[in-house]
Amino acid sequence: MVSAITRALALYTGTPLEKVEGIANALIASGAWDEPDHPLTYLLLAVMAEATPKTATSVARHYYQLPGDGENTVGELVDAMVEVFLRKERRPLSLYAYWSRIEVFTNVPAVRIHTKCHEGDFETLYYRDGWENSGSHRYSIMAGSTLFEIVAYLSLSAAVV
């Protein structure tokens, strides 16, 4: 399953497969691969944050634990998004997840989830205090629909294997 996850993430993010595999191998070697509900979440956050194999575990754990406005961390929310896609559930979270955009800041630990809604746009920012004063911000963006496609690809791969 690891190779399917790394292939899917490389394919859908445009990140070189060797880099994704290096980050995945680092997460596996550290034991972090088994920590979240879905290893895809750690790998996704580390790749989008432009981690290296040397920094992958620290970056993945740190980004996963970023707090937002509510009770959940960004990692828990992304886990829930992956889960709702895996289960093919039709509920408000599946629409929210599909129409969201995940923005992972690469030069400072912060993530913004931006969602277009009928009533207007909705944004949640996940960060720790002090990130606003860290200068200009760069980020990687993934549409929720792309996350859906990755999960669908993985579901198909698992069914075929």
Write the pLDDT tens digit of every residue in 33-54.
988 777 899 999 999 999 999 9
**Measured distance CA(64)–CA(126) in Å, rounded:** 10
**Measured distance CA(153)–CA(4) in Å, rounded:** 9
Confidence (pLDDT) at 161: 31
pTM of the model: 0.89
Judged on CB neighbours under 10 Å (0-12, 13-18, 19+), 143 is middle
Write the pLDDT tens digit of every residue in 123-140.
888 887 665 655 666 788
pLDDT above 80 for 29: yes
